[in-house]
Amino acid sequence: MPSDRSANVQHAIIRTTNVVKTFQLGSHTLEVLKGISLNIAADRHVSIMGPSGSGKSTLFNMIGGLDKPTSGKVFINEVDIAQLDAYELAWLRCRKIGYIFQTFNLIPVMTALENVTLPMIFAGTGNDEAVERGMILLKTVGLADRFNHKPSELSGGQQQRVAVARALANGPSIILADEPTGNLDLTTGEEIINLLKRMSEERKVTIISATHDFKMLNVSDEVIWIRDGLIDKIEQRDELRISVGTIE
Amino acid sequence: MERLVALPFGKSVEIAYQSIRVRFFRSLITTLSLVLAVAFLCYVQAGNRIAETILQTGSEAGFRALLQAGYDVQPGDAAIGESAKQRWLVILSLMVCVVGIVNAQLMAVTERFREIGIMKCLGALDSFILRLFLLEALMQGFIGAAAGALLGAVFAVASSAVQFGALVFTALPLGGITMTILTATATGCLLSLLGVVFPAVKAARMAPVEAMRVEE
């Protein structure tokens, strides 16, 4: 079973070639990513692990088309995102990628339902259909009864569940989760991880999460370890069990 | 062509309206300077219109009342323009008002960087953000300016009534005052838009990550 799930056989939904990102801090140039090449196959759950400051969030932003690399290329579905204009990039963010953030990032002035339906409106869905699909999504994440609440009236875990529903709004092929459990306690974090796992199985979505939460390892098909702006090692699910086993 | 994101106009209006309602107090303060400036503009213009109408009735009593009230009129005059001093005061108050709006809107935009970043992550184009801010400013501008214009007109009529007594009510230029209210309201809307353009463009051009990086 694991052999036919190897990255080489499957279609790479995300591919980066020698991605370098530098930031200019005054006269000092900081090289955050020093040449990252990776393939992420479709329908897998991939975790990008690494200590803070390792460049994992920067890599995450590149993969999500939120930031452009200084050099190197990022391909989403074999399309070089540097070649996309503002409209195509917006379309990509709207239809193909769902984002989940550490700080939930719901729009504070909107209700849970409005937060979930906003990407659908951007995608051109009519209001009635958006509300209907939004309610179904909220029901899926178990928050149907709180649809009319503002983010400030929801707990952290509930906000993150709304964010998961929002990420799924337009049926994306990729979900990018940046430290999805970073601001949650142990149990709530686990709930979100399980929710993500369930969604990836039910909806055939590729989930990529940047994290340093070890709970995430149990549900990942593949873990990419980043250290000092370089790929340290890539472990598959079966290898992972052993190394986690040795830690414990 | 099919790869387009969209924000229908009706929905933009809804979102803009909601933002104002949720931040009612802040919107109120932003609008207040506009209310006052437009009220002043309308007060001066409507006051002049009333005085002019009294002049045009040609009555001796009216002429004396005008002189007494400090209007610089000669026998045979048919019109009363704004005095240079009035004009400067009005222009100055409108300028102060625009600067106030720019200031308030810059603050409002800074406060909403994160929200803007989120919208961009969800696929919003620069033009969506710009449109939302312009619509908000237009709504605030219209309500503020209309309120200010009415306020100014009411004060103009009231103060003329005190100055000229019953004369005012025999010759109240209702059509003229309505025109003044309308132009003052339009001016107010324009000023509100003028004040929001720079902050809104600044907000719309931000890259999503930059916008998100801002801590609340």
**Taking CB atoms and an 8 Å limit, are B122 and A119 in contact across chains?**
yes
| A22 part of a folded domain | no
Whether residues B22 and A109 touch (CB distance < 8 A) is answered with yes
pLDDT of residue A160: 94
CA A55 to chain centre: 15
Predicted confidence at residue A121, as pLDDT, reads: 93
Please, are residues B12 and B132 in contact by the beta-carbon 8 Å criterion? yes
Residue B54: the pLDDT is: 85
Q: What pLDDT shows up at residue B99?
A: 93
Chain B partners within 8 Å of A83 (Cβ)? none
Res. A238: pLDDT tops 90 = no
CA proximity to A43, closest of A236, A224, A197, A200: A200
The full length of chain A comes to 248
* Within-domain flag for A157: yes
The more confident residue out of A242 and B166 is B166
Confidence grade of residue B177 (pLDDT, cut at 50, 70, 90): very high
pLDDT at A239: 77
- The Cα of B118 is separated from the nearest Cα of chain A by a number of Å equal to 7
Q: What is the pLDDT of residues B95-151, one digit of tens each?
A: 999 999 999 889 888 888 888 989 999 999 999 999 999 999 999 999 999 999 999
pLDDT computed for residue A6 by the predictor: 45
Distance CA B209, CA B117 (A): 7
Extents of the domains making up chain B: 11-47+88-162+174-213
> In this structure, is residue A193 part of a structural domain?
yes
Would you place residue B34 in the very low, low, confident or very high pLDDT band (cuts 50, 70, 90)? very high
ipTM value: 0.84
Banded pLDDT at B56 (limits 50, 70, 90): confident
Q: How far apart are CA A135 and CA A120, in angstroms?
A: 12
Give the pLDDT of residue B179: 94
The pLDDT assigned to B53 comes to 86
Band the pLDDT of B215: cuts 50, 70, 90: low
Q: Apex CA A240: angle with CA A236 and CA A244, to 5°? A: 165
User: Are B118 and A86 in contact (CB < 8 Å)?
Assistant: no
The structural domain count of chain A equals 1
* pLDDT of res. A24: 87
In angstroms, the CA B199 to CA B204 distance is 9
The whole-number pLDDT of residue B133 equals 93
- A30 within a domain of the structure (yes/no): no
Residue contact A90–B5, C-beta within 8 A: yes
Residue A243 has what pLDDT? 58
CB-based burial of residue B77 (10 Å sphere; 0-12 exposed, 13-18 middle, 19+ buried)? middle
pLDDT of residue A57: 83
Among A50-54, A84-88, B79-83, which range has the highest average pLDDT? A84-88
Residue B26 in contact with partner chain A when CB distance is under 8 A: no
Residue A96 has what pLDDT?
92
Chain B nearest-CA distance from A239, in A, is 34
Asked whether the beta carbons of residue A105 and residue B121 sit closer than 8 angstroms, the reply is yes
Judge whether A217 lies within some domain: yes
Residue of A nearest to B11 (CA): A121
Distance CA B152, CA B47 (A): 9
Provide the pLDDT for residue A10: 61
* Residue A3's pLDDT band (cuts 50, 70, 90): very low
- Confirm whether A171 is domain-assigned: yes
The residue written with tokens 């953030």 in the block is A101
Domain range enclosing A203: 43-68+85-247
What pLDDT, on a 0 to 100 scale, did the predictor assign at position A182? Answer: 86
Examine the pLDDT at B213 and tell me if it is beyond 80.
Answer: no
Better-predicted residue by pLDDT, B63 or A110 = A110
CA distances for A213 relative to A56, A163, A231, B93, B147, angstroms: 13, 19, 18, 58, 55
pLDDT tens digits, residue range A22-73?
Answer: 988 888 998 999 999 999 998 889 999 888 888 888 888 888 888 889 999 9
A198-221 as b/e, with b when 16 or more CB fall inside 10 Å? ebbeeeebbbbbbbbbeebbebbb
Q: DSSP letters of A120-184?
A: HHHTT--HHHHHHHHHHHHHHTT-GGGTT--GGGS-HHHHHHHHHHHHTTT--SEEEEESTTTTS
Mean pLDDT of the A166-191 span: 91
Which chain B residues have a beta carbon less than 8 Å from that of A67? 207, 209
Percentage above 70 pLDDT, chain B: 97
User: pLDDT at position B173, please?
Assistant: 86
Q: DSSP for A77-104?
A: TTEEGGG--HHHHHHHHHHTEEEE-TT-
Q: What per-residue confidence (pLDDT) applies to A248?
A: 41
Query: Which residues are within 8 A (CB) of B59 and not within 5 positions of it... i.e. 6 or more apart?
Result: B167
By three-state DSSP, how is residue A27 classified?
coil
Residues of B in contact with A61 (CB under 8 A): 209
For the cut 90, the answer to whether the pLDDT of residue A163 exceeds it is yes
Q: Which amino acid is at A109?
A: V
Tell which residue, B27, B18, B10, has the closest CA to residue A114: B18
Judged by CB atoms closer than 8 Å, whether chains meet at A122 and B7 is answered as yes
CATH code assigned at A147: 3.40.50.300
pLDDT, averaged across chain A: 87
Predicted local confidence at residue A1, as pLDDT? 41
